[in-house]
Amino acid sequence: MGIINLLKQSKAVIILLVYAMILSSCQEKTHFVKRNYYPSGELLSEIPYKIADSIKDGIYKDFYKNGQLKQVIHIKNGVPVDSALKYYETGELHYKELRANDSIYGSYFYKNGDIAAKNKFLDTDPPLQIGMSYIYSKDGNVRDSMEYLNIGGKSYLNTRYHHNDLGEVVPDSSYFYEFKISKIRNTDRYRLRIYYIPSMKEAQMAMVIGEDLAEDFSNLNNVRLDTIVMDGNSIVTDNLKKPNRRLKGFFYEYLSRVKDTIGKDSITLEIMEKKTFFNETVKVSDSINILDKG
């Protein structure tokens, strides 16, 4: 009787296992993975899709020809989410990306694992670089730092600082200036607005106009120059009589500061200057009321 009962129990277990396998196979699959290959046969990529709408969804993978993982991207409903990783062909981590709070934080690494660069983007389409970015030397020190601004839905490099071997910060350059002419409604006048972001914070600024000025400033001392001191980042005038203007000259930045004098009997004054050349044809872009300030 014991043997018979044991056989009955074993038969029942087998039936349950078969039933579970059948039930599992009958469950509807929600995803499938498409595999692509190099012409020589090696695996190139694995792309996950939802069966219902063929939208990418899941963990996307790329591979080097030698079989090493190249990158891993988490995707949800066709959009990258959470994190992404990229690797060198030899297997070391090259890039790490994290997405949180509508921002993308990226970090690059040298092959030995040390940080090489950091940056930040707004999680938009396309991503918009903002805030501070850093580039590191192989000895771990910051080599360059850049500040990006979001102006009118576009990313502009505001200031770039180069760090020398002594760790001292050297202001480099600013890449944003704007000229805008607007028709003042119900008048025969036009408003000219000039906007400039300096490379050196707290610098004194001026706009210098010179119609015959050479781009390399070689004739700076031999041409007529008109100077407008800038109080802040912009200049606005409502007295233009002509709708279109050609503006040529440069923005001038001047900064003086006392260097660290600890342990010294004298004071060292550091003076920095920068000239940003412009040569622009500015045309009327819109019309405004006289009370408008933009």
- Write down the pLDDT at residue 230: 87
pLDDT at 262 over 50: no
pLDDT at 270 over 70: no
Q: Output 257 or 164, whichever has higher pLDDT.
A: 164
Closest CA relative to residue 243, chosen from 284, 276, 291: 284
3-state secondary structure of 61: strand
% of the chain at pLDDT higher than 90: 34
Quote the tokens at residue 267: 């004071």
3-state secondary structure of 8: helix
Residue type, 6: L
> CA 83, CA 106: separation in Å to the nearest integer?
10
pLDDT at 231 over 90: no
> CA 275, CA 256: separation in Å to the nearest integer?
15
Q: What is the pLDDT of residues 108-131, one digit of tens each?
A: 999 999 999 999 999 988 889 999
- Write down the pLDDT at residue 275: 85
Query: What kind and span of H or E run contains 258?
Result: strand 245-258
pLDDT at 6 over 70: no
The residue-averaged pLDDT of 43-70 equals 94
Q: Please report the domains of the chain, with CATH numbers, ordered by start residue.
A: 30-173 (3.90.930.1), 176-283 (2.60.40)
- Write down the pLDDT at residue 255: 79
Quote the tokens at residue 59: 């963990």
pLDDT at 5 over 70: no
3-state secondary structure of 26: helix
Q: What is Dmax (Cα atoms) for the chain?
A: 119
Least confident of 39-43, 66-70, 114-118, 258-262: 258-262
> CA 206, CA 235: separation in Å to the nearest integer?
10
For residue 226, the 8-state DSSP code is E
β-strand pairing of 190-196 with 204-209:
unpaired
Mean pLDDT rounded to a whole number for the chain: 82
Quote the tokens at residue 44: 């190139």
Let me know: does 222 contact 167? Beta carbons within 8 Å.
Answer: no
> CA 179, CA 280: separation in Å to the nearest integer?
8
Least confident of 144-158, 171-185, 239-253: 171-185
